[in-house]
Chain A
């Protein structure tokens, strides 16, 4: 198949966006390794991070092929400038505490589950295959993070307060998932994948019941907007990249 010749810039960008989401959140979660509240959860967080890094590798490799300029997963992961990363801002925010970490994992995994489900019928067969594999992982992340959201929300007074604070902080960032994006319309029209904006009602239907069970108050939508998926990131992104790209930038061209 000669996909490289037929891939549109929107198609490439769509796959990159997914790959970057997995990459950047995987990078953040890997920071937990060795520092979690309890050994069992250290193992669980590392598993989630490993799944995401695995997804990033597949998606970035695929994006590189679609692009057809010979860039592999590592060139895409480590050698782009900040503006070219297309992850949503939510994924690059610092972990802060375990509360913010699991609330983010929960909100993000719910989005991934819906997206991966819809990609089962993608006209991009490779993308459909990656999505099918990744869907299983995302479902587990959603379940595990959801269990934690419930325990923290409906735990002690302190944990409730911290979970609510995490939700209040993160919720506005989730608007970015669903922000209108002209590129998505082209991708949807080509049958490659859903416009992310179309997933919002299902996403809310997935997350709100769990948040209710956790006795958390779902924040109202505000005018707050972020633009990571368009390449305009937060102040945190540069620091994340400085760390992540350190080796590749210091030793240009070296093989590892």
Chain B
């Protein structure tokens, strides 16, 4: 997911890492490696712009995972069955794990997790705007799994082959875990569609609210996308926003049919000539306003993250202090 924000203008003050001296020989070697489809590893020389782009992309991705815990977390205590409660808790926990893997990948580039995290809490860093929409009913949990995780998977699979080794390995692990997320969501919806009219209405209502935000997750149209070209050349983006979006729409139409719901787009129809589904115009105004902080939940999401972080400070400090005391005691004993 969650790499949409790659195309968004970024704050200054990126930290410095090792081995960024611009040097023609190094550059040639780096280019050759990239062109041959090879991997760059943490300690290898890399151009500063490559490093910066990666730090930005990976950390935004990580932030999205952990902010993404909040809307779904909103329903864990209200899950309607014990089985669904366990599934949802495991799913949201997985997202925390994804955040963790990704922060670790970013850390190999010479930044610390706390620095990255603070940028999120200060509002300097972006995360996927999909998580600024509220989860209003239990059906939202199913629709998020189906559409939001579905879009995320579409976006993430190409990243398993991205040129930066630690990122690509994190993505392999994440993608393995993601397929459960989409399937549990769809399964939840199937069950609801077999239920009462009230349940079916709940599903349709959730689809109506999440469909457009989901297809916005792929980011601006290619022609409006700032960084895409360089990112493509560097192999940290493999498929363009519009191509991915099309792929997603094409795959989803059939799933919606099987489910028995209507996707809320009157212009959605098969185009024989293109061999794809056509779909209506995306409301980019809404997209940008959410990205820029005016979505319903932007403020609440960051406030929740900040609260957890600040209220946890004494715990983190206590553990460090205990480790210091232990080390001192061991020294005396030795």
Report if A and B touch in the complex (beta carbons < 8 A).
Answer: yes
Q: Evaluate contact between A151 and B318: CB separation under 8 angstroms.
A: yes
Return the contact of B70 from the options A30, A34, A156, A162 (Cβ within 8 A).
A34
A-contact 0/1 string along B193-211, CB 8 Å cutoff: 0111011000000000000
Return the contact of A33 from the options B89, B195, B316 (Cβ within 8 A).
B89
Q: Chain A's nearest CB lies how many Å from the CB of B25?
A: 40
Query: Can you list 30 A-B contacts (CB < 8 A)?
Result: A30-B76, A30-B85, A31-B77, A33-B73, A35-B307, A35-B308, A36-B312, A37-B308, A37-B309, A37-B311, A38-B316, A39-B103, A41-B315, A46-B90, A50-B89, A50-B90, A50-B93, A53-B85, A77-B82, A97-B311, A98-B311, A98-B312, A151-B319, A154-B322, A158-B318, A247-B138, A251-B80, A254-B80, A256-B138, A256-B188
A1-60 with Cβ < 8 A to chain B: 23, 27, 30-31, 33-43, 46-47, 49-50, 53-54, 56-57, 60
A248 at the interface (CB under 8 A from B): yes
A120 at the interface (CB under 8 A from B): no
Q: Evaluate contact between B96 and A243: CB separation under 8 angstroms.
A: no
Q: Chain B's nearest CB lies how many Å from the CB of A233?
A: 17
Q: Chain B's nearest CB lies how many Å from the CB of A135?
A: 20
Return the contact of A159 from the options B78, B79, B93, B315 (Cβ within 8 A).
B315
A-contact 0/1 string along B288-310, CB 8 Å cutoff: 00000000000000001001110
**How far, in angstroms, from A241 to B70 measured CA to CA in the complex?**
21
Question: Cβ of A77: which chain B residues have Cβ within 8 Å of it?
Answer: 82
Using known A-B contacts A156-B317, A248-B80, A256-B81, determine if residue A46 contacts B92 with beta carbons closer than 8 Å.
yes
Q: What is the interface size of chain A, counting residues whose CB is below 8 A from a CB of the partner?
A: 49
Interface contacts (Cβ under 8 Å), in number, total: 141
Return the contact of B92 from the options A23, A34, A243, A247 (Cβ within 8 A).
A34
Question: Cβ of A56: which chain B residues have Cβ within 8 Å of it?
Answer: 82
Using known A-B contacts A30-B77, A154-B322, A155-B319, determine if residue A255 contacts B195 with beta carbons closer than 8 Å.
yes
Query: Which residues of A come within 8 Å of B, CB atoms?
Result: 23, 27, 30-31, 33-43, 46-47, 49-50, 53-54, 56-57, 60, 73-74, 77-78, 97-99, 150-152, 154-156, 158-159, 162, 243-244, 246-248, 251, 254-256
Q: Chain B's nearest CB lies how many Å from the CB of A209?
A: 17
Q: Evaluate contact between A37 and B316: CB separation under 8 angstroms.
A: yes
Q: Chain A's nearest CB lies how many Å from the CB of B149?
A: 16
**How far, in angstroms, from A43 to B322 measured CA to CA in the complex?**
22
Question: Cβ of B154: which chain A residues have Cβ within 8 Å of it?
Answer: none
Q: Evaluate contact between A244 and B191: CB separation under 8 angstroms.
A: no
Q: Evaluate contact between B73 and A34: CB separation under 8 angstroms.
A: yes
Question: Cβ of B313: which chain A residues have Cβ within 8 Å of it?
Answer: 37
Q: Evaluate contact between A74 and B196: CB separation under 8 angstroms.
A: no
Interface residues on B, range: 35 or more
Question: Cβ of B69: which chain A residues have Cβ within 8 Å of it?
Answer: 33-34, 42
**How far, in angstroms, from A225 to B281 measured CA to CA in the complex?**
65
**How far, in angstroms, from A57 to B199 measured CA to CA in the complex?**
24
Q: Evaluate contact between A46 and B304: CB separation under 8 angstroms.
A: no
Return the contact of B93 from the options A31, A38, A47, A156 (Cβ within 8 A).
A47
Question: Cβ of A60: which chain B residues have Cβ within 8 Å of it?
Answer: 82
Question: Cβ of A246: which chain B residues have Cβ within 8 Å of it?
Answer: 78
Looking across the interface, which residue of chain A has its beta carbon closest to that of B85? Answer: A53
Q: Evaluate contact between A46 and B81: CB separation under 8 angstroms.
A: no
B97 at the interface (CB under 8 A from A): yes
Q: Evaluate contact between B318 and A39: CB separation under 8 angstroms.
A: no
Return the contact of B196 from the options A37, A54, A254 (Cβ within 8 A).
A254
Return the contact of B86 from the options A35, A42, A54 (Cβ within 8 A).
A54
**How far, in angstroms, from A133 to B185 measured CA to CA in the complex?**
29
